[in-house]
Each structure stands twice: as C-alpha cells, then as structure tokens.
Amino acid sequence: MSLINYSSREINCKVVYYGCGLCGKTTNIKYIYSKVAPDAKGKLISLATELDRTLFFDFMPLDLGSIKGFKTRFHLYTVPGQVFYNASRKLILKGVDGVVFVADSQVERLDANVESIANLQDNLAENGFNIENIPFVIQYNKRDLPNIASVDELRSQLNKWGVPDFESVAHQGYGVFETLKEVAKKVLKNLG
Amino acid sequence: MSENVNVFEDDFWSINEKLNELLKNTNSLSVLLIDKAGQLITTAGDISQLDTTSFASLSAADFAATSQLAMLVGEKEFATLFHQGEKQNIYVASIESRVMLAVVFDQRTTLGLVRVRVKQTVAELIKIFQAIFSKLEGGPGSGGPSPLGSDFASEAESELDNLFK
C-alpha cells in the first residue's frame, strides 16, 4: 500500500524480504544499512530474540531521493522465517508494494525454500494480493557455500513465474543492491 | 491496487486541522496519523524528540498484532490501544480499519479526556477518509492515467540507475 502524499510531495513504498529461517533476509537489510549514506536512511529496528533470530520483523527506511519532485522513500521489512511465526509474516505483508524472496541455496534447504515460497503465495492471497501481479524478485543467496544447488535447479523449483532472479552472497554484499534495485524499479513502475 | 492511500492537498489540510484541534483540546504532546502498512501520513504537535518513521512502523505492527489477539478471543479488532508509561503514554485508535490515530500525552492531561476527544476526532476523520477512499475507488482517476504523470516510471528508473551506480 504505497502512500502518496501530494501535499508534502512524498511517496512511501513498502518492500518485504521473505524466505525460510536463516536464509539471509536480515543479512540483506543489514548490509544495505551499512552501505547507505547516513542522510539517506533512518534507524534500523530489529525485533529479534537474544540469539539474533528475527521475532517479528526488521525495519529500515531508505530515502531514494527525489523523483519528479516527490521525495521517495522505501520501507524495507523482513519477516521472521521460522515456520511457527506465520501469523507475524501475514501481518507484515499487509500493504506490501514489492517482495524479495531470499532463497537459501544449500541443497538441504531446498524443501524449506519450496515450503516458504508456497507460504508466501498463501499469505499474499490472504492479504488480497496475487503473486503474479505484485512486483516480485528472487535472490539465490549463500552462493559462496560448497554444498549448493545449481541456479538452474533452484530456478526450476522456485521461479515458476520467470521473475527476475539474482545470485548473492549477502554477508559480502554480492547481489544485494542488484536485488534491491530491481524490486524498487518494479515497485515504482507500478506506481507510474 | 485500490488499497493505496493517496492524500490530496485539500484533504491533507482538513486532516491537519482536525489533528491540531485534537492536540489543543487534549493538551497532548503530539498526534500522529499512520496508515496500517506503517507509513506516516501526517502529524501535529512537537515531534522533535520522536523518531516518527520508527514510531509509525512499530505502531502499525503493534496494532496488527493486537488485532490478531482480538480475533483469538472472538473480537473483530480492538478499536483502541493504550500504553501507559511513567511519564508519557500513547493512545491509539483505529479509523475505518485502514488508518490509525496515535496520541502521545503526559501528566498534563488525562486518559479520560484523551479518550473522549479522540472518539470525536475519529468520527470526523472517518468522514474525510470515506471521501478520500471513494475518490480513489470510484473517482475519475481510478483506472485512468496516473496522477504522477505518464513519464514517472521512466524518470524513476533513471533516478534509480543514478542512485545505485
């Protein structure tokens, strides 16, 4: 649910990073936070457990500058990946403008990815969205690990819609901004 | 998607007027209007000490979580929320299930007064928002060209290219 304020000339959009537990959603946001200039970002909020597992969400506001005289700001959220936090995931998708699905490339996490993307589809539907219409990109994370599935295999299991997809190593920043840029582009295209 | 809340200039000023009235009538510190996705629409009062972006995002999450709690006990939603602190308190009320009104206040006023005045303001804001929503859904703009202009998408794309160079 983008918010366009014609009076203060501001546009706010909401992007949610989705995926199974420990796939690297928070790592993506933290990397973006560490690289963005201080005047372009707000506070990073992490509602996490003492072991750094996301409990409710992480949140960071990111200013993209001015587009056609409108101050454009993205609100980046992550969901808690663990299966039993589904109620929270559903809430965070409320009013979403774009989704990044972060997949864990490790072979043993393939089933968890498949389950998570099905869960995303269900939760989007419950919020009145169709995965085929919403700005959506996929990121295959952890490409630096030894036991990973090939991109072709991941693509065939996860990307049946043929949406833009990216390889990444989120903790090193590889692929992080490419993913963000693509989803941001799609969200803004949707507004225009 | 007609879920979007687009606020046009005239509506914005009448909303601001209502918020300022509420601020004055309750003697509270600040009043914030937030949409259910966690985005700040507008504020009244002193917000210099407040991180309003975080405030908006957390209140929306708070409200969403509480609504789920309401459903667990068989309620549609809890229309208001109250958080009591040692010095400052927050009172949040839902407007048409799509927008929230949050009032931050201290000992210079009372919960009772805030509650009564918020109820009045919510009733007035509902009228304004109903007009906004019907404008968005049934108005001449719906389905038509974007009010941002047809070249918005291409300009946004080149702006993004610059930003992520």
Q: What is the mean pLDDT of residues A174-192?
A: 93
The interface predicted TM-score (ipTM) is: 0.75
Q: What band does A75 get if pLDDT is binned at 50, 70 and 90?
A: very high
CATH code of B39's domain: 3.30.450.30
H-helix segments, A5-129: 25-35, 86-92, 110-126
Position B119 scores a pLDDT of 96
CATH code of A85's domain: 3.40.50.300
Least confident of A35-49, A88-102, A150-164, A166-180: A35-49
**Is B83 part of any domain?**
yes
Count of domains in chain A? 1
Helix (H) or strand (E) holding A159: none
**Is B127 part of any domain?**
yes
Distance of CA B31 to the CA centre of its chain: 9
Q: Under 8 Å CB-to-CB from A160, ≥6 apart: which residues?
A: none
Interface of chain A toward chain B, CB-CB under 8 angstroms: 1-8, 12, 14, 42-43, 45, 47, 56-57, 59, 61, 64-68, 70, 72, 75, 87-88, 91-92, 94-96, 128-129, 177, 180-181, 184-185, 188-189, 191-192
* CB A35 within 8 Å of CB A62: no
Range of the domain at B75: 9-163
**Does the pLDDT value for residue B5 go beyond 80?**
no
Average pLDDT score, chain A: 92
Count of domains in chain B? 1
Helix (H) or strand (E) holding B143: none
Beta strands in B8-135 (DSSP E): 30-35, 40-45, 80-84, 89-95, 99-105
**Is B65 part of any domain?**
yes
**Is B1 part of any domain?**
no
Q: What is the mean pLDDT of residues B145-158?
A: 74
**Is B60 part of any domain?**
yes
* CB B108 within 8 Å of CB B27: yes
Position B67 scores a pLDDT of 86
* CB B38 within 8 Å of CB B64: no
Q: What band does B145 get if pLDDT is binned at 50, 70 and 90?
A: low
- Give the pLDDT confidence of B115-143 residue by residue, as tens digits: 999 999 999 999 998 888 787 776 544 44
Q: What percent of chain A has pLDDT over 70?
A: 99
**Does the pLDDT value for residue B109 go beyond 60?**
yes
How many Å is the Cα radius of gyration of chain A? Answer: 16
Range of the domain at A30: 3-191
